[in-house]
Chains A and B, each alone.
Chain A
Amino acid sequence: MQREVALIKQSLFDQGYLDEQFMELEELQDDANPNFVEEVSALYFKDSARLINNIDQALERGTFDFNRLDSYMHQFKGSSTSIGASKVKAECTTFREYCRAGNAEGCLRTFQQLKKEHSTLRKKLEHYFQLARQAGPKETARRPK
């Protein structure tokens, strides 16, 4: 079980869903805070869902206030960076570039992509944490080899 957990985690890194920052978070987890990473992830997804919502609404309005969109995305990028969600972060960067270029269509497209990545990551992480909890907290705190 633990091995499976470790493998899943490793694949997340290998596939680029997560980066070193995630490892940093794992380092912060200890006996006193055994579920730290999971808690942070949960918080991230909750907060980012709210952001996604805001952006969706802004885009739907069709007015394309690029400054505001850029600002939302800056926040999004900040959070994603902090937990090591690298693919999501990459999409954020692309989105911001389109914003700066004033490319509405590019923004829309990127945003769809971003939502996809975000949701994929969420599912994967949820699965991972679930297994990890089953396998035992100590094991999950290890870094992938």
Chain B
Amino acid sequence: MMNPSHGRGLGSAGGSSSGRNQGGGETVVEMFPSGLRVLVVDDDPTCLMILERMLRTCLYEVTKCNRAEMALSLLRKNKHGFDIVISDVHMPDMDGFKLLEHVGLEMDLPVIMMSADDSKSVVLKGVTHGAVDYLIKPVRMEALKNIWQHVVRKRRSEWSVPEHSGSIEETGERQQQQHRGGGGGAAVSGGEDAVDDNSSSVNEGNNWRSSSRKRKDEEGEEQGDDKDEDASNLKKPRVVWSVELHQQFVAAVNQLGVEKAVPKKILELMNVPGLTRENVASHLQKYRIYLRRLGGVSQHQGNLNNSFMTGQDASFGPLSTLNGFDLQALAVTGQLPAQSLAQLQAGLGRPAMVSKSGLPVSSIVDERSIFSFDNTKTRFGEGLGHHGQQPQQQPQMNLLHGVPTGLQQQLPMGNRMSIQQQIAAVRAGHSVQNNGMLMPLAGQQSLPRGPPPMLTSSQSSIRQPMLSNRIPERSGFSGRNNIPESSRVLPTGYTNLTTQHSSSAMAYNNFQPELPVNSFPLASAPGLSVPVRKATSYQEEVNSSEAGFTTPSYDMFTTRQNDWDLRNIGIAFDSHQDAESAAFSASEAYSSSSMSRNNTTVAATEHGRNHQQPPPGMVPHHQGYADGNSGSVRVKSERVAADTAAMAFHEQYSNQEDLMSALLKQEGIAPVDGEFDFDAYSIDNIPV
């Protein structure tokens, strides 16, 4: 029991042993995590008995259930009766993942999946569906002993969101805290790999990323020095999303339009006293993921929860595609004047802003994306002048309730556009690749917005370094670097990006918004020589915006890269000279993104993906997509973006490169399912 004041008695869990930790509040707190109320669901009676015994030995309160339906009804009847749910994957009456979704949406409880099946695809599915952990049978005591961390983590994140919402100024502060707390936070949450990655050491501007991710951890840390304190501090009345409440929520969302629904408006429409925007925001995230799943869009969620996949890669991919488009367009149209680039950026950024909390990423992913969106939005809202990434992050952070801090950071990069798209993509449940495509579109559309030229410059500067690095990677693509591989490139791109960011990314500047994924586009513009130096502020902004975009798919890596990209992009823009190159790189970025998209789409033809539009020529992997793609890509990008967004989310989940590539591949190939199911992790012949 974490907090006696919650009123959760030991005996509340229906039938589990209740005597153990009874005692005064102090006693409970001291004995934490004893008394944690666990609900175990498994159709295998042997396993159930063993698990129950093990959990009891950990001094948890256990309720067993051998049918998913029964578990759900138990949970519904007793909304606050449990702290965590452990469920088997294969059950006769209901798929474990379905149960996971329901619990996530309705009760917002952490769910741990388990199975004798340890294939990557299933584990990934767990993540994308939002499981906080995945245990392989036979489950050992050691694994069960630490499940309390998931409860604590969740609570902390719920807490920190409202607390940190605030002005941008706080961002900086927060970031610092996060950095500080990042380590601590990471320690607490075993599953949050991103936290470590977030350490700001990687990128100068990375504040957001690390801050958002760490923010939550920080919060917890600030609140209490030891976990006991945190546990007791966590006691925050949790909103129970009853059926009625959820109906109201859904009605409000439908009224606003799923794509456009923002927590604030939803909150207003629902008009439920006591409901906060954060509650709505986190619920919206989940809902979006849920919809995405239903949509049958292949989202390669790596999510959940937590992101193992090189979310970065994924996010980069989409971004790169977006960028690719822009670049292409630019290339096609000739030099891309800084102005247009700016517009592009602005345009890109805008979308991101809109979608603020829309990303349906699974818990982990969502948070990321949400953050990114917020970041992006903030960015634009503030205009170019807003240099600190932090500021942007702040807004996002605040907006996102319960969203893992990690997301924010990622978003900064180039999310502007991507966010929107991502959201859209998420909805569509498209694979990450799609996102890439969508993004470009989004960016394009927003072109008219006219992003501040400053951004570009900053981006460009950043990009340049990146580009240079990338280029070598992309050897395969002369000039196009990103294109063919956008999905593939991501993994590589990421690494380069981070290192490079300072230098070349000029080309990317233009596409700044798109870039979050951009790691590719950057790379693709080898020829671009963007003045690196520039603009730190913009870069950050850019990064943040990008990050927003990529968030879904980014895990820490991605965000980083985004930052770089953004920077580069920004830089590029400033230097008009670069504009041309930037355009070039942008087009490349687009091409690559579109390419990757195309490839995916092509593969997914059978799925009837819309984004398949690109001419069959696109299919060939790495051919000069740029031209062909830009046009078609644009159109599709909208759609694709949605997919990509979905993918992005998936991306986040898988840390492994191969997984990512597999996912990316799969995205294109089997999108419709809506289920994240990777049979093969091999990356199809994406020319790298």
Binding site for B on A (CB under 8 A): 21, 24-25, 27-28, 33, 36, 39-40, 43-44, 47-48, 71, 74-75, 77-79, 81-84
Contact = CB atoms under 8 A, between A and B. Distances in A.
A48 B45 CA distance: 10
Interface of B: 43-47, 49-50, 53-54, 57, 88, 90, 115-117, 137-141
A81 B54 contact: no
Contacts of B43: 75
A82 B90 contact: no
Contact of A43 (B45, B115, B139): B45
Contact of A36 (B44, B53, B138): B53
Contacts of B57: 28
Contact of B90 (A48, A75, A79, A81): A75
A75 B48 CA distance: 13
A47 B46 contact: yes
B117 A74 contact: yes
A49 to B, nearest CB: 12
B16 to A, nearest CB: 15
B45 A77 contact: no
Contacts of A33: 53
B44 A82 contact: yes
Nearest 10 pairs of A and B residues by beta carbon: A78-B116, A44-B46, A79-B46, A21-B138, A81-B138, A82-B47, A28-B53, A82-B138, A79-B44, A43-B46
A1 to B, nearest CB: 27
A79 B53 contact: no
B45 A24 contact: no
25 contacts: A24-B138, A28-B57, A39-B49, A40-B46, A43-B46, A47-B44, A47-B45, A71-B90, A75-B43, A75-B90, A77-B116, A78-B47, A78-B88, A78-B90, A78-B137, A79-B44, A79-B46, A81-B116, A81-B137, A81-B138, A82-B44, A82-B50, A82-B137, A82-B139, A84-B138
B90 to A, nearest CB: 6
A21 B47 CA distance: 12
A28 B54 contact: yes
A75 B91 CA distance: 9
A144 B49 CA distance: 23
A40 B54 CA distance: 12
Contacts of B44: 47, 75, 78-79, 82
B138 to A, nearest CB: 5
Contacts of B90: 71, 74-75, 78
A27 B141 contact: yes
Contacts of A78: 44, 47, 88, 90, 115-116, 137
Nearest to A22: B138
A39 B52 CA distance: 13
A33 B53 CA distance: 9
Contacts, number: 57
Contacts of B46: 40, 43-44, 47-48, 79, 82-83
A24 B137 contact: no
A57 to B, nearest CB: 16
Contacts of B140: 24
Given A71-B90, A82-B44, A40 B50 contact: yes
A115 to B, nearest CB: 18
Given A40-B46, A78-B47, A83-B46, 18 more contacts: A24-B141, A27-B141, A36-B53, A40-B50, A40-B53, A44-B46, A71-B90, A74-B90, A75-B43, A77-B116, A78-B44, A78-B88, A81-B138, A82-B44, A82-B46, A82-B47, A82-B50, A83-B50
A43 to B, nearest CB: 5
A67 to B, nearest CB: 12
Query: Which of A33, A74, A77, A79 neighbours the largest number of chain B CB atoms within 10 Å of its CB?
Result: A79
Contacts of A47: 44-46
B100 to A, nearest CB: 18
Nearest to A19: B138
Contacts of B54: 28
A74 B43 CA distance: 12
Contacts of A27: 141
B214 to A, nearest CB: 36
A75 B45 CA distance: 11
Contacts of A44: 46
Nearest to B90: A74
A88 to B, nearest CB: 12
A74 B116 CA distance: 8
Contacts of B115: 78
A78 B91 CA distance: 12
A25 B140 CA distance: 9
Nearest to B88: A78
Contacts of A77: 116
A3 B53 CA distance: 27
Nearest to A48: B46
Contacts of A79: 44, 46-47
A135 B637 CA distance: 74
Contacts of A24: 138, 140-141
A43 B49 contact: yes
A48 to B, nearest CB: 8
A77 to B, nearest CB: 6
B222 to A, nearest CB: 38
A50 to B, nearest CB: 10
Contacts of B116: 74, 77-78, 81
Contacts of A74: 90, 116-117
A44 B141 CA distance: 19
A40 B50 CA distance: 7
A118 to B, nearest CB: 13
A27 B57 CA distance: 10
Contacts of A48: 46
Contacts of A28: 50, 53-54, 57, 141
A75 B141 CA distance: 21
A33 B44 CA distance: 21
A113 to B, nearest CB: 20
A25 to B, nearest CB: 7
A84 B49 CA distance: 14
A77 B44 CA distance: 11
A74 B96 CA distance: 15
Query: Which of B44, B45, B46, B54 neighbours the largest number of chain A CB atoms within 10 Å of its CB?
Result: B46
B159 to A, nearest CB: 35
A34 to B, nearest CB: 12
B122 to A, nearest CB: 11
A79 B116 CA distance: 9
A143 B90 CA distance: 32
B97 to A, nearest CB: 15
B485 to A, nearest CB: 32
B40 to A, nearest CB: 13
Contacts of A40: 46, 49-50, 53
B95 to A, nearest CB: 12
A78 B50 CA distance: 12
Nearest to B136: A81
A47 B110 CA distance: 30
Nearest to B47: A82
Contacts of A75: 43-44, 90
Nearest to A79: B46
A28 B43 CA distance: 21
Contacts of A36: 53
B632 to A, nearest CB: 40
Nearest to B53: A28
